[in-house]
Amino acid sequence: VQLQASGGGLVQPGGSLRLSCAASGFTLDDYAIGWFRQAPGKEREVISCISSIHTGSTYYAESVKGRFTVSRDHAKKTMYLQMSNLKPEDTAVYYCAAQDKYYYCSGYDWGAENEYHYWGQGTLVTVSS
């Protein structure tokens, strides 16, 4: 199983960016998937979870709620993290993470790193003027 996160880059405060997460050897639609980030000098933190395609329920950390949106494209077998109104404190390496036990985010501690078995390599987002 390999996860590939992409789409990071440099963006000005207030700007938008869309990250993608693709998988090989794993069907992203079937299980709940998480997005995490790690800012320089800080611990990795969860920012979002999306349940399997059966419900697609989404959950967000308070720090990104209302600004970030997670979604799936079934045909492209890709997940997206749309980020808007970006702030300098959003600067971080962003990761998608997968597990193959739970269908719904509500069924487990979606913020716990040890619940996820598969991690992408991360993509750097820098928010700066």
Taking Cα atoms as reference points, which of 87, 49, 53 lies closest to residue 67? 87
Task: Give CA–CA dist 30/80, Å, rounded.
Answer: 15
Q: Within a 10 A sphere around the Cβ of 51, how many other Cβ atoms? A: 21
Residue 78: strand pairing partners: 22, 73
pLDDT at 15: 98
Judged against a pLDDT cut of 90, whether residue 42 lies above it is answered with: yes
Measure CA 107 to chain center: 18
The mean per-residue pLDDT over the stretch 41-62 comes to 94
Residues 6+ apart with CB under 8 A from 53: 29, 30, 72, 74
Query: 67-87 burial by CB neighbour count: b if 16+ within 10 A, else e?
Result: ebbbebeeeeebbbbebeebe
Judged against a pLDDT cut of 90, whether residue 55 lies above it is answered with: no
Residues 6+ apart with CB under 8 A from 114: none
Judged against a pLDDT cut of 90, whether residue 74 lies above it is answered with: no
Judged against a pLDDT cut of 90, whether residue 10 lies above it is answered with: yes
Query: Which value, to the nearest 10 degrees, does the dihedral of the CA atoms of residues 63, 65, 66, 68 take?
Result: 90
